[in-house]
Chains A and B, each alone.
Chain A
Amino acid sequence: MTTLIVLSALGLICLFSEIFGFRKLLHPLILIGLIAAFVTNTFDWNNGGPLFNDMMIIDNFSVAFTGLLIGITFFWCLMSPEYFTEPSSESDHFALIVFSLIGTMVMVTFSNMIMLFLGIEILSISLYILAGSNKKNLASNEAALKYFLMGSFATGFLLFGIAMIYGVTGSFNLAAISTFIAQSAGQNSVMMLAGILMMMIALSFKVSAAPFHFWAPDVYQGSPTVITAFMSTVVKTAAFAAFFRLFLHTFSGTPSIWAPTLMIISGLTILVGNITAVYQTNFKRMLAYSSISHAGYMVLALLAMNQSAPSSLLFYTAAYSISSITAFVILLLISHKTGNDDIKSFNGLAKKNPFLAGVTVVAMLSLAGIPPTAGFFAKYYIFSAVMQNGYIGLVLLAILGSLIGVFYYFRVIIAVFKTEEETQEIKVNTLFRVLLVITSLAAIILGIAPGILAGLI
Chain B
Amino acid sequence: MLTILIFFPLFAGLAILMSGENAKRIALAAALIEFAISVSITLGFDPTAGTQFVHEFSWVASLGISYKVGLDGISLLLVLLTTFLVPIIILSSFRHNYKNPGLFYALILIMQMALVGVFSALDGFLFYIFWELALIPIYLICLMWGGKDRVRITLKFFIYTLFGSLLMLVALIWLWMKTPAPHSFDIHALYSLNLNATEQSWIFWAFFLAFAIKMPVFPFHTWQPDTYTDSPTPGTMLLSGIMLKMGVYGVLRWLLPIVPDGVHEWGTTAMILSVIGVVYASCIALVQKDFKRLIAYSSIAHVGLISAGIFSLTLQGMEGGVIQMLSHGINVVGLFFIAEIVMDRMKTRDLGELGGIRLSAPVFSSFFLIVLLASIALPLTNGFIGEFLLINGIFQFSTWMAAVAGLTIILGAVYMLSAYQKISLGEANKQTEKFADLTLSEKWVLIPLVLMIFWIGIYPDFFLGIAEPSIKALRDVIHVAHGITQLTN
Contact = CB atoms under 8 A, between A and B. Distances in A.
Interface of A: 308, 311, 350, 365, 370-372, 376, 380-381, 383-384, 387-388, 392, 395-396, 399, 402-403, 406-407, 410, 413-414, 417, 449-451, 454-455
A399 B177 contact: no
Given A372-B129, A451-B59, A455-B62, A403 B159 contact: yes
B162 A403 contact: yes
**Which interface residue of B128, B144, B155, B173 has the most chain A CB atoms within 10 A?**
B173
B176 to A, nearest CB: 7
B166 A455 contact: no
Nearest to B170: A395
Contact of A451 (B61, B143, B155, B162): B61
26 contacts: A308-B62, A365-B136, A371-B129, A383-B169, A383-B170, A383-B173, A384-B176, A387-B170, A392-B174, A395-B170, A396-B170, A399-B166, A399-B169, A403-B159, A403-B162, A406-B158, A414-B143, A414-B155, A449-B59, A450-B60, A451-B61, A451-B62, A454-B60, A454-B62, A455-B61, A455-B62
Which 4 residue pairs across A and B have the least CB separation, nearest first?
A455-B62, A399-B166, A371-B132, A451-B60
Given A384-B173, A414-B155, A455-B61, A402 B166 contact: yes
Given A387-B174, A388-B177, A455-B63, A371 B166 contact: no
Contacts of A388: 177
Nearest to A386: B173
Interface string B143-160: 110000001000100110
A384 B132 contact: no
A406 B162 contact: yes
A454 B167 CA distance: 23
Contacts of A387: 170, 173-174, 177
B186 to A, nearest CB: 16
A384 B136 contact: no
A352 B63 CA distance: 42
Contacts of B163: 403
B166 A406 contact: no
Nearest to B145: A417
B159 A407 contact: yes
Per DSSP, chain B at the interface is: helix
A365 B176 CA distance: 25
Interface string B55-94: 0000111110000000000000000000000000000000
Contacts of B136: 365, 370
B54 interface: no
Nearest to A396: B170
B58 to A, nearest CB: 8
B17 to A, nearest CB: 9
Given A402-B166, A451-B59, 16 more contacts: A365-B136, A371-B128, A371-B132, A380-B173, A384-B177, A387-B170, A387-B173, A395-B170, A396-B170, A407-B155, A410-B155, A410-B158, A414-B155, A417-B143, A450-B60, A455-B62
B133 interface: yes
B133 A372 contact: yes
Contact of A380 (B144, B162, B169, B177): B169
B159 A414 contact: no
A376 B60 CA distance: 14
Nearest to A455: B62
B379 to A, nearest CB: 44
A236 to B, nearest CB: 24
Contacts of A403: 159, 162-163, 166
A380 B59 CA distance: 15
Interface string B120-137: 000000001100110110
Contacts of A350: 144
Contacts of A380: 169, 173
A414 B60 contact: no
B486 to A, nearest CB: 31
A308 B176 CA distance: 15
A407 B154 CA distance: 11
A406 B159 CA distance: 7
A210 B440 CA distance: 64
